[in-house]
Chain A
């Protein structure tokens, strides 16, 4: 059996990749995809620990995360489309409305 540390290292690598993407990419869609990547990294750890402990709490948590991620993707994509319609761009460099 593969030891749990392998799964955790993979999850950490995925999380870092996702975070790197969130921090450096300019396209809002790609940023969303990277967020998904980070969520999946979290899911992977949940599942790995669940298998290790042999109970179902981790699985339930993973399902919650998938549900929240789906909702987030739906609303986020709606916002991105609305921004694209009003500004003609999804480049987050140009969207600095949090300043106000």
Chain B
């Protein structure tokens, strides 16, 4: 097995690489600094060089780090007295900040999960940088653009490399800021600036939930470290072939020492907590139903607080990943440059929510309520977005809704406990959706920035590279057999079908058919997009008579991404000898293995490890073919043959409602914005204008002035006036004396 040896060797020893992990983040940050400060003076070529080189360097380092994790030797020490995290590099740079008992370390962790994401971020990011050098050729703000792009990559890397929730939040906020800057990149256009603002505000709402959830977890960990007994740390127990073997016993003091050393929000500590909680033990051990003894959460149970924290994390993830309550920003965010859409809205940032839940999987499986909510939110979002995508005519908006929909599918996977498939779909989606977005950008580039698919058509012969890659990516997302999207989506649907959340069995029987409907919808709208853009005759309304193919810097990323979206399907196969599970499952088992142990001892989810059978594949394939076939029939023969005939009023009505996104934005306007606006109007008029401005500010001045002008008469400087006062006093004295005498 020469290949195996290659993977298990590390070209640079982990011990050498670990102290330099920070450079992976620092390189693009430095690139952003150089481009941002000196970009205008450096000139176009140099900015391109700096920006691409920074990301390329980061990519090489990520690759080396990722490679080193597989060499077997390195692992993170079991600071918390739990398990050694295997197949990971970990660099702790010491205390970042501390306040009283609470401390946060600046620690970076590269394991198979974050390593996969690092490769996606820097790899796809590099291709998008390369593509941007051509796409932004004529833009004056190119240096600003590349600075933002580098900043985004740096922040996204911080997000995935963080070994604790607080550092993750830094990246979480950082990508939000970078996306705000990039979506509103053409800030002179008010609509585009507004879109950036909308994304920012929607994200902030989610981030608020994230923060509160983090604080809750800090409190829970603190309460646990005080209440736990040695009995809790019986988790040093391994499951092999369904048999549980106890291999030792932990120690609460180890956990507390770990907290003192590395802070309460490190993922390793949270995992130890998650392992300790579900055990059905006696002897005063802390379990999910134990009430918290002291502190602000006194009286609530550990499980209850965890559920609330996870639901708040879901809100945070909904903001970042554009899920149901907060998804409205993503389609508007298409106002930014197209490569940005590909980088942020397909490959990286919007998947941050999926990453977060994959990272927190050990806690998630402890709460069936949270899992069911995640799955249902995901399914609802996916279905709603897929239906809205039916009626969009803007090429980028269709892709945007498709992204929302695909993310919903990933959340369905997370909510039903098939984490590896969600991550796999994240990766494959990054490939084909980035390819689609960049293809759309290429189409726009070659057609005078036309985005209306009804005014395109027939590009097949004019833009060959774009056509081929776009077709491959469309097939991949549609779920056609040999491409990656099919397998990753099918793995999720398989999990949704067969995994069972304890107490919420109906979720699965409901979600599986919904998942099939979503698949059919995806196939339909993607086929429609593809057919209207590339097939048929050129629309008479087209802006330019003949489209031109883009430069190699734009087509090369397209080709590479298309190749990736084909090749990535290998991860869904059980290719390893003696390993029945899929390659990605096996590969991520170092991350999700502990989660499995927890699930087994908690019994909150019943995981099904079987691989999809041929019948499952056939069903999924048939559904996708039906959706795609319906689109092909409608848009290739039905609608063209009815050209010139009036459409049904009912159909027009439905189309209008769907086109306006079911009036969700308007609903928000009515339910949220109006009351808030009215309240702020009231506050402005009553509190600010009247109470503060009139009564307090001007009122106090008025009183002083009046008082002063009254007192002024007492000091006129007029000797006669003083004398008059004296005389009056004298008179008073005389009158008093007279009364006394008489």
Partners in one complex: yes
Name A residues whose Cβ lies closer than 8 Å to a Cβ of B.
19, 22-24, 92-93, 95-100
Per-residue CB contact flags for chain B residues 693-717 toward chain A (1 = under 8 Å, else 0) read: 0000000000000000000000111
Chain B neighbourhood of A100, CB < 8 A: 717
Chain A neighbourhood of B717, CB < 8 A: 96-100
Question: How far is B731's CA from A23's CA once the two chains are assembled, in angstroms?
Answer: 14
- The residue of chain B having its C-beta at the shortest distance from the C-beta of A95 within the complex is B719
Query: What 11 additional pairs, Cβ within 8 angstroms, besides A96-B718, A98-B717, A99-B717?
Result: A22-B723, A23-B723, A24-B720, A93-B718, A96-B716, A96-B717, A97-B717, A98-B718, A98-B719, A99-B715, A100-B717
B720 touches A92 (CB 8 A): yes
CB distance from A6 to the nearest CB of B (A): 20
Residue among A19, A93, A100 facing the most chain B CB atoms (10 A cut-off)? A19
CB distance from B20 to the nearest CB of A (A): 77
Chain A neighbourhood of B723, CB < 8 A: 22-23
CB distance from B618 to the nearest CB of A (A): 105
CB distance from A67 to the nearest CB of B (A): 23
Assess whether B724 is interfacial by the CB under 8 Å rule.
yes
CB distance from B717 to the nearest CB of A (A): 3
Q: What number of residue pairs across chains A and B have CB atoms under 8 A from each other?
A: 25
A19 touches B715 (CB 8 A): no
CB distance from A11 to the nearest CB of B (A): 14
Assess whether B727 is interfacial by the CB under 8 Å rule.
yes
Known: A19-B727, A23-B727. A99 touches B719 (CB 8 A): no
Question: How far is B378's CA from A71's CA once the two chains are assembled, in angstroms?
Answer: 106
Chain A neighbourhood of B718, CB < 8 A: 92-93, 96, 98
25 A/B residue pairs, CB under 8 Å, sorted by A: A19-B727, A22-B720, A22-B723, A23-B720, A23-B723, A23-B724, A23-B727, A24-B720, A92-B718, A92-B719, A92-B720, A93-B718, A95-B719, A96-B716, A96-B717, A96-B718, A97-B717, A98-B717, A98-B718, A98-B719, A98-B722, A99-B715, A99-B716, A99-B717, A100-B717
CB distance from A62 to the nearest CB of B (A): 21
CB distance from B713 to the nearest CB of A (A): 12
Per-residue CB contact flags for chain B residues 433-463 toward chain A (1 = under 8 Å, else 0) read: 0000000000000000000000000000000
- The residue of chain B having its C-beta at the shortest distance from the C-beta of A98 within the complex is B717
Chain A neighbourhood of B722, CB < 8 A: 98
Name B residues whose Cβ lies closer than 8 Å to a Cβ of A.
715-720, 722-724, 727
Question: How far is B718's CA from A92's CA once the two chains are assembled, in angstroms?
Answer: 8
- The residue of chain B having its C-beta at the shortest distance from the C-beta of A28 within the complex is B719
B contacts with A: majority SS: helix
Chain B neighbourhood of A98, CB < 8 A: 717-719, 722
Chain B neighbourhood of A96, CB < 8 A: 716-718
Question: How far is B726's CA from A22's CA once the two chains are assembled, in angstroms?
Answer: 12
CB distance from A18 to the nearest CB of B (A): 11
Chain A neighbourhood of B720, CB < 8 A: 22-24, 92
4 closest cross-chain pairs (CB), A and B? A99-B717, A96-B717, A98-B717, A23-B724
Question: How far is B721's CA from A38's CA once the two chains are assembled, in angstroms?
Answer: 18
Question: How far is B715's CA from A100's CA once the two chains are assembled, in angstroms?
Answer: 9
Residue among B716, B717, B719, B723 facing the most chain A CB atoms (10 A cut-off)? B719
- The residue of chain A having its C-beta at the shortest distance from the C-beta of B712 within the complex is A99
- The residue of chain B having its C-beta at the shortest distance from the C-beta of A99 within the complex is B717
- The residue of chain A having its C-beta at the shortest distance from the C-beta of B720 within the complex is A23
Question: How far is B725's CA from A23's CA once the two chains are assembled, in angstroms?
Answer: 10
Chain A neighbourhood of B716, CB < 8 A: 96, 99
Question: How far is B719's CA from A93's CA once the two chains are assembled, in angstroms?
Answer: 8
Question: How far is B724's CA from A4's CA once the two chains are assembled, in angstroms?
Answer: 29
Chain B neighbourhood of A22, CB < 8 A: 720, 723
Question: How far is B715's CA from A98's CA once the two chains are assembled, in angstroms?
Answer: 8
- The residue of chain A having its C-beta at the shortest distance from the C-beta of B721 within the complex is A23
Question: How far is B723's CA from A98's CA once the two chains are assembled, in angstroms?
Answer: 13
Chain B neighbourhood of A92, CB < 8 A: 718-720
Chain A neighbourhood of B715, CB < 8 A: 99
Question: How far is B724's CA from A98's CA once the two chains are assembled, in angstroms?
Answer: 15
CB distance from A79 to the nearest CB of B (A): 12
CB distance from A50 to the nearest CB of B (A): 22
Question: How far is B722's CA from A99's CA once the two chains are assembled, in angstroms?
Answer: 11
Chain B neighbourhood of A19, CB < 8 A: 727
Question: How far is B719's CA from A24's CA once the two chains are assembled, in angstroms?
Answer: 11
CB distance from B722 to the nearest CB of A (A): 7
Question: How far is B717's CA from A66's CA once the two chains are assembled, in angstroms?
Answer: 29
Chain B neighbourhood of A93, CB < 8 A: 718
Question: How far is B719's CA from A100's CA once the two chains are assembled, in angstroms?
Answer: 13
Chain A neighbourhood of B727, CB < 8 A: 19, 23
Question: How far is B719's CA from A12's CA once the two chains are assembled, in angstroms?
Answer: 23
Question: How far is B717's CA from A100's CA once the two chains are assembled, in angstroms?
Answer: 8
Question: How far is B719's CA from A95's CA once the two chains are assembled, in angstroms?
Answer: 9
- The residue of chain B having its C-beta at the shortest distance from the C-beta of A97 within the complex is B717
- The residue of chain A having its C-beta at the shortest distance from the C-beta of B728 within the complex is A23
CB distance from B711 to the nearest CB of A (A): 13
Question: How far is B722's CA from A96's CA once the two chains are assembled, in angstroms?
Answer: 11
Question: How far is B715's CA from A99's CA once the two chains are assembled, in angstroms?
Answer: 6
Chain B neighbourhood of A99, CB < 8 A: 715-717
Chain A neighbourhood of B719, CB < 8 A: 92, 95, 98
CB distance from B694 to the nearest CB of A (A): 34
Question: How far is B719's CA from A6's CA once the two chains are assembled, in angstroms?
Answer: 33
Chain B neighbourhood of A95, CB < 8 A: 719
Question: How far is B408's CA from A57's CA once the two chains are assembled, in angstroms?
Answer: 116
CB distance from B734 to the nearest CB of A (A): 10
- The residue of chain A having its C-beta at the shortest distance from the C-beta of B727 within the complex is A19
CB distance from A76 to the nearest CB of B (A): 12
Question: How far is B720's CA from A96's CA once the two chains are assembled, in angstroms?
Answer: 10
CB distance from B565 to the nearest CB of A (A): 90
Question: How far is B718's CA from A59's CA once the two chains are assembled, in angstroms?
Answer: 35
CB distance from B660 to the nearest CB of A (A): 75
CB distance from B315 to the nearest CB of A (A): 68
Question: How far is B716's CA from A53's CA once the two chains are assembled, in angstroms?
Answer: 45
Question: How far is B716's CA from A9's CA once the two chains are assembled, in angstroms?
Answer: 34
Question: How far is B719's CA from A69's CA once the two chains are assembled, in angstroms?
Answer: 19
Question: How far is B722's CA from A93's CA once the two chains are assembled, in angstroms?
Answer: 12
